[in-house]
Amino acid sequence: MTDSKTSSLPIEFEEGEAEFLLGHLMSNSEDLLYLILLENKEFVFVNRKFEETLGYTIEDLQSEKFQFGSIISTDSLEEVEARDERRKRGEIVENQIRFWAITKDGRNIPLHASVIELYWRGKPAILGIARDISLETEHLDHLKETIRINQMILDNIPTGIVLLDRFLRMRYVNPKAQEFFGKTNSEMLGKPFLEYVEPQIRETIIEFTRSGPSRGIIKSPITLTQVSPRPRYTQWYFATIHQNEEIVMIQAILVDMTEIISRQKELERKNRKLVEVNNKLETLNKKLDEFVAITSHDLKAPARRIATFGTLLQNSPNLDPNEQEQLRMLVETSRHLVSMIDAFVNFSRLDKAELNFQSFEMEKIIDFVIRMSLKEIIAKNDAEIVISRPLPKIYGDYKLMSQVWQNLIQNAIKFSRDGIPPVIEIFAETKKGYALFYCKDNGIGIPRDKNKVIFEMFTRVHNEEKPGTGIGLSIVQKIIEMHGGKIWVETNEDGVGSTFVFSIPLHSYQ
């Protein structure tokens, strides 16, 4: 079929010839054939293919209600009638028409027909030779949709895209690239791309195209490009589109690297600062270590000496009871000073302690501490320790954790009420990924407003008669924090005694 615009020449057949010819065409043709009279648009013939495709038999079509107009869609009918009008007015009309036919079961099928005007038994008639173009139409619609989507993507993508022909002239510039160059599409179309970009980029693309179509994607160096309102760091990616080993198009993709570069620079600056601060901190730490070592030594030595002399003097026969009492206090104070210095050194070394994390049962530590370190004080104070077994397993440092329990239990016994034997309950629960451990006593308790300060260094809230340095809880808190947990103290509900609670995160690999 051609698209030529010619008026069909009316052909006249001898009677019999036309019927023979039509009969032959109709039975063998893979096209849909139909013959209609021009005066009333009634069907004279349709072929097998016509019947198969649209579902009507010739009997259907020759019944009264059927005309050509009854089997085509309203839109198509208007077009066909308009064409008829033009033909009647003597205008030249196309002999190719497209219309939507309605099948017997109500579907719409696009047909492309060539029409031949002729005489049928002396009456003007039309022979239509049509083809079902559903598939082509569908493909075309699909293609149109694909093009539309591609266009939409190219127009809205936040990346600049320029399509170049093989002479590196711009054939398409998407809105983002237009914005970057500060020029409209029409200003740039057909212009050489190389005139718009930096020398380094020019080199990249020239080298790229010279190396032939087999190379995949290449990227230019990052360059600082002077565009308004402020310069931007950019990088171009080039990819070729080829056909039969020939480059037909080059895709140039613009990536704005400004944000990334400035973030990178900021990061580098921060890193440098961090290294500086770290170095300073390291020097300071070293100095602090030296200071702690020297002062602890310098302080401990005289304190020890005082205690030793004091003890020696205490044995002197010439002292009255008052002097003896004063000497006893002197010895005690010096010993206290030594243990305070030791505790302080201990605390300051915690940060540097080599951690040895492993999984273990908390009960084991508590049993161990009770057996090895607290036996005496428990017996002396007639203390009872009740453990709700089993306690959760944790992942932590065994040695440090035993220091925690030793401090907590010792305090619970030390701060008991006069004449009331200490009862210490130890229990635990798991909650939101943490194990919570409780150490509850029936001792003298802690005033609510002191719940926080007791964890501070050298803070003691009870009378000075109880021995201690005020550092124990600071060490405990530090150890718990080194395990990723928290510690706090609550006053018991009945107002008697307090409960220390600490959390330790549960690990999946415990």
Q: Of the two residues 461 and 506, which places its CB atom closer to ligand ADP in the complex?
A: 461
**368-407: contacts with ligand ADP (CB under 6 A):** 407
> Does residue 180 interact with ligand ADP by CB under 6 A?
no
Single residue of 174, 225, 234, 411 touching ligand ADP by CB under 6 A: 411
By C-beta, is 129 or 457 nearer to ligand ADP?
457
The residue type found at 204 is T
Which of 31, 441 has the CB closer to ligand ADP? 441
**How many residues sit in the footprint of ligand ADP (CB under 6 A)?**
22
Q: How far apart are CA 480 and CA 238, in angstroms?
A: 57
**CA angle, 226 then 232 then 237, to 5°:** 105
d(CA 499, CA 476): 15
Among the residue ranges 149-157, 294-302, 384-392, 410-418, the one whose residues contact ligand ADP (CB under 6 A) = 410-418
Is the CB of residue 146 less than 8 Å from the CB of residue 129?
Answer: no
Q: How far is the CB of 467 from ligand ADP (least distance, A)?
A: 7
Q: What does the DSSP 8-state code read for residue 110?
A: E
DSSP 103: P
Nearer to ligand ADP, 240 or 469 (CB): 469
Applying the rule CB under 6 A, the residues between 439 and 498 that interact with ligand ADP are: 441, 443-446, 454, 459-462, 468-474, 498
Taking the complex as a whole, how short is the minimal distance between the CB of residue 446 and ligand ADP, in angstroms?
5
For residue 247, the cross-strand partners are: 242
Residue 496 to residues 83, 364, 465, Cα–Cα distance (Å): 106, 28, 21
Q: State in angstroms the smallest separation of the CB of 455 from ligand ADP.
A: 7
* Angle subtended at Cα 74 by Cα 73 and Cα 80, rounded to the nearest 5 degrees: 85
Could you tell me the two tokens for 111? 């047909």
* C-alpha to C-alpha distance for 478 and 471, rounded to whole angstroms: 11
Q: How far is the CB of 441 from ligand ADP (least distance, A)?
A: 5
Q: Which is nearer to ligand ADP, 111 or 489 (CB)?
A: 489
Report whether 126 contacts 36 (CB < 8 A): yes
Nearer to ligand ADP, 164 or 473 (CB): 473
Q: Taking the complex as a whole, how short is the minimal distance between the CB of residue 395 and ligand ADP, in angstroms?
A: 25
412 binds ligand ADP (CB under 6 A): yes
Q: How many CA atoms lie within 13 A of 433 on its CB side?
A: 6
Q: Does 424 bind ligand ADP (CB under 6 A)?
A: no
SS3 label, residue 360: strand
Q: Residue 252 and residue 13: Cα distance in Å, rounded?
A: 64
CB of 418 vs ligand ADP, minimal distance in Å: 13
x/- letters, 29..68, toward ligand ADP (CB under 6 A): ----------------------------------------
Cis peptide before 229 (omega within 30 of 0): yes
Residue ranges binding ligand ADP (CB under 6 A): 407, 411-412, 415, 441, 443-446, 454, 459-462, 468-474, 498
